Amino acid sequence: MSPQRRSGLGTNQEAIRRHNLGTVLRHVHSAGEMSRAELTAIMGLNRSTIAGLVGELESLGISERTTPVEGARQGAGRPSAGVRIAEDGPYVIAVDLGVDRAVVARVGLGGRILQRAQAPVHSDGEAWQVGAAVAALIRTVVADAPAASALVGIGISVPGLVRRNDGLIRLAPNLEWHDVSFGGIVLAALGLDVPVSLANDADLGALAEHTRGAGVGTDELIYISGNVGVGAGIITGGHRLEGAGGYAGEVGHLRFDPAGRPCHCGNRGCWETEVGAHAIAAAIQCPPDKVAQLDEVLDSFGKPSPALRATGTALGQGLASLVNMFNPQTVILGGYLRSLYLLVGAEVDAGLAERALPAPLESVTLALPGLGSDSSLLGAAEIALEPLFIDPVAALGTALEDVRSRLAG
Amino acid sequence: MSPQRRSGLGTNQEAIRRHNLGTVLRHVHSAGEMSRAELTAIMGLNRSTIAGLVGELESLGISERTTPVEGARQGAGRPSAGVRIAEDGPYVIAVDLGVDRAVVARVGLGGRILQRAQAPVHSDGEAWQVGAAVAALIRTVVADAPAASALVGIGISVPGLVRRNDGLIRLAPNLEWHDVSFGGIVLAALGLDVPVSLANDADLGALAEHTRGAGVGTDELIYISGNVGVGAGIITGGHRLEGAGGYAGEVGHLRFDPAGRPCHCGNRGCWETEVGAHAIAAAIQCPPDKVAQLDEVLDSFGKPSPALRATGTALGQGLASLVNMFNPQTVILGGYLRSLYLLVGAEVDAGLAERALPAPLESVTLALPGLGSDSSLLGAAEIALEPLFIDPVAALGTALEDVRSRLAG
């Protein structure tokens, strides 16, 4: 959201230029590669303005020219030159704090994962221990970054509630963290001063799937993440629904059966007690030490039991509340919910159709993630890259080159 | 939302000028009156640019100058002139299609209700009959409009599901309407060609409360309307959450008690079967012919019965789901829910606190409407006025002067 729009500001020339620069980059980042003709059409600016903006992105080392695309000739004149993300351009670090492991990746514009590493995380680990482990993984993935490439920032996906204004982890139930400044902990362990952004894993899954996954082409989508709890990331009007504090999307505690099972939140019969990982594990007699890999366990399953079918129905019935409330176009089922849908999709569809109102039911399609298990990781990259799309010049101004040497010193 | 932002377009000079013109007007419309100094500060443009924009709004007959405000002197130079909405400027027609009556008003910029009229609506009335009744009310309220004032458009608040792209009423349960082009029916009954916009009554209540009611100052709010069913209008990031088809906010059918009472939607135990008008009427033994005035009946109530207290608890518990899902800053209780809260507010608060997660619970305040029973009516005016805030010149270009004479002919 441009700052001008958010505050009802007017616009001036320099701000327009930088906004346009960031918008061009956002298009190329989403598409991976575009011709100048496509950019001219999609932005509604004239060709020489586009040429100037593209030229500036090239001089900043962010994009590079591609050879004219065959068949892109438009009438008289040269075929349209292409724009793509530069090799060795700016990059970010993405961190996916999972249930029992942390995944860290060096990610470039275009959502290119350049290098990745992972390590186990112990659920009773202190925050500083996890921070140290994450910092070690970060050192690993920046080791081979070209010295001229600049680190723009770090994005961290969190399985819990993140306060929007300062990134404080209010609650991460699986890690038993309350009010943890994990961003600051990671920076302290690294010894680097670089922007760090944190957000909920379902929110980031929705963001990545919207940018380059199963949610491309719609501005109304929900990504439901099944890790251990159940959370939702909501995109509406093309933007993340964050809420006043950044806590929107806590669908796991929707009221499902007031006479139902006890929930860790203190109430009974929350939706999570029917479709959460522990509920599904119980339905298939999965041993507790395998719950973190529930998706793999389900993938190896043959014929679903009646208990699993009932879980599918409960998933569909709960989704109906979300469909009635948000009227999405696409609902993406991530984590172990993807695996569950592959097994009992008919029950899920039936539960949804039974409880959703006709008009919103017409609009909606259930889908599986387009980015596999990388949705939240790539979403973390997206939020770290975002300053480049607001103002590339300013974002590069604070970026760090040759991080490897800085970390060694 | 500016069209440039929605589509990732670049911006050019003329588009900027018109956008700025509309933005200045939006500020003055919301505030009612502003000094040029305030406009300069809030829009981040220089004083001569603001003077030019204000001058153009004056020449268009939309705004007028006020005498300098006492005490507004800022250093050397003249005190800052003021801008306010012009008398006899452009106006809209707002229609609030209620359960048993239609309210129609002529509304000016600044949300000023200039004239209003109402008539009963029979719930088994055919759409064309209701349209004719509404057209008659419109003729009444334009009769005294100054000939030089131009009608910009008509906004209609609907107790039901309205399709976003074309305003078709998909479902209005109380009227038993399915797929009704009510906008077209009203234009046909009037014999006028003017833009007409329709939207759900809860959505419009949220919009009006956000603009000038109890939701001013927050961009995350929910307006829950109690008419007969229960619906929600959601504002997030400062904009209406509409959903793919425009059907977002159907909270009445949230799952409350799977073993509960039958609902008209075909399921059991929807939230509406606990807190809808018929449920409350049953709890207080209100006769069926008074259900449409349930708010007045509740207002005359003394001590709440145990059944009414239980209803309050159910209201709070259901609100907790909305608080967990949307993380709003303000939840406004409209219609008879306002009256209910005044009676059993302690139970509502307790039900909410019992079921909402701590972090989103901290952010939220329950509030009563600032606009009384006019929330949806003023929201209808807002959507009809919206083209003036996008491009005032274009909107005036299609507006109709001297409507009274046109209707007489």
Pick the residue of A325, A362, A363 with the most B CBs within 10 A to test the interface with B by mutation. Answer: A325
Answer yes or no: do A254 and B255 touch at CB < 8 A. Answer: yes
- The answer as to whether A313 is a domain residue is yes
Residue B400 CA to residue B394 CA, distance in Å, equals 12
Asked if residue A171 and residue A45 are part of one domain, the reply reads no
Cβ-Cβ contacts under 8 Å between A and B: the total is 211
Non-local CB neighbours of B373 within 8 Å, separated by 6+ positions: B295, B335
Same domain, A218 and A270: yes
Are residues A133 and A121 in contact, defined by beta-carbon separation less than 8 angstroms? Answer: yes
The label of the residue with tokens 């609100």 reads B319
Is residue B273 over pLDDT 80? yes
Element (H, E) at B43: helix B36-43
Nearest alpha carbon to residue B28 among B107, B110, B86: B110
For B1, the closest chain A residue by CA position comes to: A5
Cβ within 8 Å, pair B359-A259: no
pLDDT of B71 reads 52
In a domain, A208, yes or no: no
Please report, rounded to a whole number, the percentage of residues in chain B having pLDDT higher than 70.
Answer: 94
The pair of structure tokens assigned to B35 is 């000094």
List strand residue ranges (DSSP E) for B201-319, in order. 221-226, 230-236, 239-240
pLDDT at residue A12, as a whole number: 72
Residues of chain A contacting residue B9, judged by C-beta atoms under 8 Å apart: 42-45
Q: Is B356 inside any structural domain? A: yes
Select from B36, B62, B85 the last residue of a domain.
B85
Q: Does A365 touch chain B (CB under 8 A)?
A: no
Is B8 in the same domain as B52? Answer: yes
By C-alpha distance, the chain B residue nearest A160 is: B359
pLDDT band at A1 (very low <50, low <70, confident <90, very high): very low
Residue A290: strand, helix, or coil = helix
In a domain, A395, yes or no: yes
Are A297 and A345 in the same domain?
A: yes
Look over chain A and give the mean of its residue pLDDT values, rounded to a whole number: 91
DSSP labels, B151-189: EEEEEEEESSEE-TTT--EEEETTTTEEEE-HHHHHHHH
**Burial label, B165 (beta-carbon count in 10 A; 0-12, 13-18, 19+):** exposed
Query: Is B355 in Cβ contact with A253 (below 8 Å)?
Result: yes
Question: Which of A44, A163, A220 minimises the CB distance to B10?
Answer: A44
Closest CA to B380 of B136, B52, B116, B10: B116
Nearest to B331 by CA among B229, B242, B249: B249
Residue A264 pLDDT > 80: yes
The beta-carbon neighbor of A258 closest among B257, B329, B362 is: B257
Inform me whether the C-beta atom of residue B360 falls under 8 Å from chain A C-beta atoms: yes
pTM for this structure? 0.89
Interface check A245 vs B, CB under 8 A: yes
Contacts of A26 by beta carbon, 8 Å cutoff, 6+ apart: A389, B8
Of the candidates A33, A57, A85, which is a domain's last residue? A85
Q: Is the dihedral of CA A259, A260, A262, A263 positive or negative?
A: negative
Same domain, B276 and B131: no
Rounded-to-10 torsion of CA B49, B52, B58, B61: -100
Q: Which residues have a Cβ under 8 Å from the Cβ of B14 and sit 6 or more positions away?
A: none
Asked if residue B209 is part of any domain, the answer here is no
Q: Residue A166 domain-assigned? A: yes
- Condensed to tens digits (0 to 9), the pLDDT of residues B6-48 reads 445 555 778 888 999 999 999 999 998 999 999 999 998 889 9
Mutate to test the interface with A, among B54, B324, B363 (most CBs of A within 10 A): B324
Is pLDDT of A74 > 80? no
Q: Domain check: are A53 and A144 in the same one?
A: no
A267 CB neighbours in chain B (<8 A) are: 354-355
Three-state DSSP state, A177: strand
pLDDT at B16: 85
The DSSP element (H or E) to which B212 belongs, if any, is helix B201-212
Does residue A6 surpass a pLDDT of 80?
no
**DSSP codes joined into one string, A46-97:** -HHHHHHHHHHHHHTTSEEEEPPPTT---SSSPPPPEEEEPTT--EEEEEEE
Nearest to B360 by CA among B408, B328, B398, B315: B328
Q: Which residues pair with A83 in a beta bridge?
A: A34, A65
What's the pLDDT at A7? 45
Say if A361 is an interface residue toward chain B (CB within 8 Å): no
- Same domain assignment for residues A219 and A182: no
Domain count, chain A: 3
Question: Residue A254 is part of which domain span?
Answer: 214-369
Instruction: Inspect the interface and report whether the beta carbons of B11 and A16 lie closer than 8 Å.
Output: yes
- A88 to A67, A389, B216: CA distances (angstroms): 19, 18, 47
Do A244 and B327 lie within an 8 Å CB cutoff? Answer: yes
Any idea what the CATH number is for the domain that residue A112 is in? 3.30.420.40
Q: Please, what is the Cα angle at B369 between B366 and B370, to 5 degrees?
A: 120
Question: What CATH number is associated with residue B58?
Answer: 1.10.10.10
Same domain for A20 and A112? no
What's the pLDDT tens digit per position in A207-260? 999 999 999 999 999 999 988 889 999 999 999 999 999 999 999 999 999 899
Q: Is the pLDDT of residue B74 over 80?
A: no
| Terminal-residue alpha carbon distance, chain B | 38
Q: Would you say residue B180 has pLDDT above 90? A: yes
Tell me if B324 and A250 make a contact (CB, 8 A cut-off).
yes
- DSSP three-state, residue B224: strand
Reported confidence tier of residue A77, pLDDT bands at 50, 70, 90: low
Are residues A379 and A309 located together in one domain of the fold? no
Tokens of A379: 């979403």
Q: What is the mean pLDDT of residues B232-254?
A: 95
Which of A5, A220, A257 lies at the smallest CB-CB distance from B243? Answer: A220
* Centroid of chain to Cα B340: 21
Mean pLDDT of chain B: 91
As a whole number of angstroms, the distance between CA B188 and CA B163 comes to 20
B161 interface with A at CB cutoff 8 Å: yes
Number of CB atoms found within 10 A of residue B56's CB? 18
Across the range A14-23, mean pLDDT stands at 90
Q: Using one digit for the tens of pLDDT, what is the confidence trace for B45-64?
A: 889 999 999 999 999 999 99
- Measured in degrees and rounded to the nearest 5, phi and psi for residue A240 equal -65, 135
Q: What percent of chain A has pLDDT over 70?
A: 94
Percent above pLDDT 90 for chain B: 75
- Please state the length of chain B: 409
Tell me, yes or no, whether B219 and B359 share the same domain: yes
Per-position DSSP letters for B62-94, written without gaps between them: SEEEEPPPTT---SSSPPPPEEEEPTT--EEEE
Residue B227 belongs to some domain of the structure: yes
In a domain, A209, yes or no: no
Cα separation, B377 vs B355, in Å, equals 33
Answer yes or no: do A246 and B327 touch at CB < 8 A.
yes
Token readout for A346 is 């008919």
Indicate whether A220 and A355 sit together in one domain: yes
Q: Is residue A199 located within the same domain as residue A222?
A: no
CB A121 within 8 A of CB A98: yes
B339 contacts B375 by C-beta, under 8 angstroms: no
Of A85, A111, A141, the one marking the end of a domain is A85
The pLDDT tens digits of the residues spanning A321-377 come to: 999 999 999 999 999 999 999 999 999 999 999 999 999 999 999 999 999 889 999
